[in-house]
Amino acid sequence: MSTRTGKQTVVLSNPPVVIGGAAIVGKKEGDGPLARYFDQIIDDEYFGEKTFEKAESRLLRDTLAKTLEKCGKSAQDIDFIISGDLQNQCTAASYAFRDVQVSFIGIYGACSTMAESLALGAMLIDGGAAEMTACMTSSHFCSAERQFRYPLEFGSQRTPTSQWTVTGAGCILLGKQGNGPRITHVTCGAIIDMGIKDANNMGGAMAPAACDTILRHLQDTGRSLDYYDLVLTGDLGSFGRSILTRLLKDNGVDPEGRYEDCGCMIFDLERQDVVCGGSGCGCSATVLSAYILELMNQKKLNRVLLVATGALHSPTWIQQGESIPCIAHAVSLENIPE
């Protein structure tokens, strides 16, 4: 059974196994540095559907199907689908899985949703409530722009701190048994609000939450950052990454040489005109499910701390002059010798 250590960290007594994963991304993501790791690259933002919102639902649906196919499983083998997205009321996920007939847990953590999904799925398995869970999320550039900022037709200017919402969906299949990396620890973050009100500065707003969760994880577990081959945030972009690096150093933790950010990895920041990099909950989901999982399976990485970050705001609250509350959840993935 799971046990608590420190203030915010859960130690999984029987660490669930990452059976496999899959990721489907859009054309711009497919033109980035990680293209060869993705399972499918779509060349049409509509993905054969009539709206961007329906296209995002299909991204989720097809990514689950691809994951099950790769793992040799069927939907009937899954006890829970745990998924969310950036659409109002998590409707991309709700509509994607309305015909699957599997217990569904819809969640929202903004761009932290993938880590939240993995944390819940792992604890359900470790606690004996499930044998297998599908943990996933998505985002879509066009649907997110329409909801959080302006319709694309408006042609609004991007600020120097803005990021590009990733079009993509990622899925990780967790199981009680199997071969692969295991989720050993979960550190659920606390909400951190530093008073930032600029909705185009997500990296700056979320960086303090990432710092707080990383420091809490290290304190709770008694580990140093050197324990991990890679600490991976998702997704602060280049601006937020620089802020987090400085914050960690101010607290006596030097992340240089073992820290990367999904928003900086998925795009070529100099060539692809994405300003500070990628964002959206599909960003960390696709990077993890495709690239990072491949490196862990090849034993090129053996200990990874995923720290997915989220800005828990809405256009309504921002237009009312409120600041942006942020969150970061950490999940420790480790190759454990047999």
Domain at 96, CATH number = 3.40.47.40
**Are 172 and 289 in contact, with CB atoms under 8 Å apart?**
yes
Do 217 and 313 sit in the same domain of this protein? Answer: yes
Do 149 and 257 sit in the same domain of this protein? Answer: no
Do 246 and 319 sit in the same domain of this protein? Answer: yes
What pLDDT is attached to residue 154? 60
Do 78 and 170 sit in the same domain of this protein? Answer: yes
- Torsion-angle region of 127 (φ positive above 0: left; ψ -120 to 50: alpha; else: beta): alpha
Beta partners for residue 268, in sequence order: none
Among 142, 157, 175, where does a domain finish?
Answer: 175
Do 126 and 200 sit in the same domain of this protein? Answer: no
Do 23 and 51 sit in the same domain of this protein? Answer: yes
Half-sphere exposure of 181 (CA within 13 A, CB side): 28
Do 309 and 294 sit in the same domain of this protein? Answer: yes
Do 46 and 108 sit in the same domain of this protein? Answer: yes
Beta partners for residue 168, in sequence order: 25, 139
Q: 269 by DSSP, 3-state: which?
A: coil
Do 81 and 158 sit in the same domain of this protein? Answer: yes
What pLDDT is attached to residue 152? 63
Give the domain range for residue 234. 182-334
Question: Block means of pLDDT (10 residues each) for the chain, length 338 residues?
Answer: 91 97 98 98 95 97 98 97 96 97 97 98 97 98 81 71 95 95 98 95 97 98 98 96 98 97 97 96 97 98 98 92 97 92
Query: Closest Cα partner for 90 from 138, 26, 152?
Result: 138
Written as six digits, the tokens of 202 are 């997500």
What pLDDT is attached to residue 148? 79
pTM: 0.96
**Are 112 and 288 in contact, with CB atoms under 8 Å apart?**
no
Do 295 and 242 sit in the same domain of this protein? Answer: yes
Among 132, 158, 175, where does a domain finish?
Answer: 175
Do 186 and 137 sit in the same domain of this protein? Answer: no
Q: For the residues of 114-141, what is the DSSP string, one character each?
A: HHHHHHHHHHHHHTTS-SEEEEEEEE-H
Domain total in the chain: 2
Among 175, 201, 236, where does a domain finish?
Answer: 175
Q: 187 by DSSP, 3-state: which?
A: strand
Q: How far is CA 74 from CA 78, 100, 135, 137, 286, in A?
A: 7, 11, 15, 19, 21
What pLDDT is attached to residue 145? 82
